[in-house]
Amino acid sequence: MPLPRLFRRVQRQVKGVVKQAIINHHRKSGAVLFSDTTLRDGEQMPGATLEPEDKLRIALALEEAGVHSLDAGFAASSPSEIEAIRQMVGKVKKPVLTSLCRTVKSDVDAAYEALAGNPSHKRGVSLFVGTSPLHRQYKLQKSEAEILSIITDTIHYAAEKFDIVAFSPEDASRTELSYLTEVYREAIDAGATTIGFPDTVGILTPEKARHFIRHIQDNVPNIGKVLLAVHYHNDLGLAVANTLASIDEGANVVQCTINGIGERAGNACLEEVAMALALHQDQYGREAKIDTTKLYALSHLVSELTGIRMAPNKPIGGRTIFATEAGIHQDGLLKNIDTYLPFRPEMVGAPGVELVLGRHSGRRAVAHRLEQLNLNCTDEQVQLVLDGIKHVPKGTIIDDGLLRQLAGTNGRSSGKP
């Protein structure tokens, strides 16, 4: 054999051994790898359009939080996607950057161009094609065999250019198990390094999600060669629960978005999955290399840059999640902050607990706030304030000025520091 050909063959074999060693390492470590898709599936949410510089800011914040990979965009979809991905190349260093691709060679070429310059172990493609009967019949108008051949052809092509090749059968959760298993087996043989399980329309329950993942683990004979990624949409409000159930069944990678933004009802929310894992180590026993103290800021950054407002009670980042107006809760929190909290605000980098004074507040919280204001109030004055705030008209903002007024202190403080 001519020397250059022999050299290329040896080089390919060495690459293959290294790739497999990395996959084995991740599988053995048991770590849950977070693959963030805020910049791709998240941005698909109507109104969530991000400029390339916004995407870079979010990507850098995700890197700081410890995500393993970033679905950086869909290079073939527009020049601005390519530009956004190119801006990340060389600046976002730790996570693997991937570009979404249809099973079309020109999409792989666009991804290659967009990601050029990133080291080969830090760039990849994420290929997808519909496999469910609905997609086969109506969207693609192709037979099972035709789709299988498109999948293997494109994976072969992608594997020539990329060391990291993820493949997801779109609408997997509505694909027949036997066909799904065959698709995965062939995709792995063709060179996929990750196989994805997308619940594209967010239809599954945790029990059914668990069943799918178990079935894949038990029936795809070459599953040990790849990482298994899961991708849940939130149409039934179950994306986080389904993700956790899949982790319990051994999924290696979880695809999530910040604030759960995404197509229709959105995707599994990264910060909620990460916190569930952090708080229930005893149950999952899987390390998630996410720095939870960065989550609150990330949540606010994404909300600010996408313009998608968070519900006030949104877990982790919402305005009211560390605030309470209820007297019994306020009393408990003042005695011991853990009485009415699942975790401390600092664990997610949030500012702290807020005792809101209002109609539901109790004596203790009122006295506490008056003390903080340095007003040396008698029991009668505290009672006056409490009675006062219970009768203010709806919508009145109970600020410190109003408290002073109700206490009849006319702005005088006790003089204590």
Residues that bind ligand KIV (CB under 6 A): 41, 100, 128, 168, 170, 198, 200, 231, 233
* 36 interface partner picked from Zn ion, ligand KIV, none, CB below 5 to 8 A per type: none
Q: Which amino acid is at 321?
A: I
Pairing of the two strands 69-73 and 323-324? unpaired
**Share of the chain residues as helix, strand and coil, in percent rounded to the nearest 5:** 55, 15, 35
* 168 interface partner picked from Zn ion, ligand KIV, none, CB below 5 to 8 A per type: ligand KIV
Nearer to Zn ion, 108 or 230 (CB): 230
Residue 313: how many CB atoms within 10 A of its CB?
10
Does 163 bind Zn ion (CB under 5 A)? Our answer is: no
Reduce the DSSP state of residue 188 to 3 states and report it: helix
* 191 interface partner picked from Zn ion, ligand KIV, none, CB below 5 to 8 A per type: none
Does 41 bind Zn ion (CB under 5 A)? Our answer is: yes
Query: Cα dist. 332→234, 383, 390 in Å?
Result: 34, 19, 20
Minimum distance of Zn ion from residue 230's CB (angstroms): 11
* 118 interface partner picked from Zn ion, ligand KIV, none, CB below 5 to 8 A per type: none
How many Cα atoms occupy the beta-carbon half-sphere of 61 within 13 Å? 23
* Region binding Zn ion by CB under 5 A among candidate stretches 34-42, 98-106, 159-167, 320-328: 34-42
Minimum distance of ligand KIV from residue 98's CB (angstroms): 11
Minimum distance of ligand KIV from residue 71's CB (angstroms): 8
DSSP category for residue 413: -
Minimum distance of ligand KIV from residue 382's CB (angstroms): 55
Minimum distance of ligand KIV from residue 181's CB (angstroms): 18
* 170 interface partner picked from Zn ion, ligand KIV, none, CB below 5 to 8 A per type: ligand KIV
Minimum distance of Zn ion from residue 278's CB (angstroms): 24
Closest by Cα among 167, 172, 158, 161 to 200: 172
Residues linked to residue 199 through DSSP beta bridges, in sequence order: 232
Given a contact cutoff of 8 angstroms between Cβ atoms, the answer to whether 375 and 414 are in contact is yes
Does 43 bind Zn ion (CB under 5 A)? Our answer is: no
Alpha helices in 33-174 (DSSP H): 52-65, 79-88, 105-115, 133-134, 144-161
In this chain, which residue has its C-beta nearest to Zn ion?
A: 41
Using CB under 5 A, list all residues that contact Zn ion.
Answer: 41
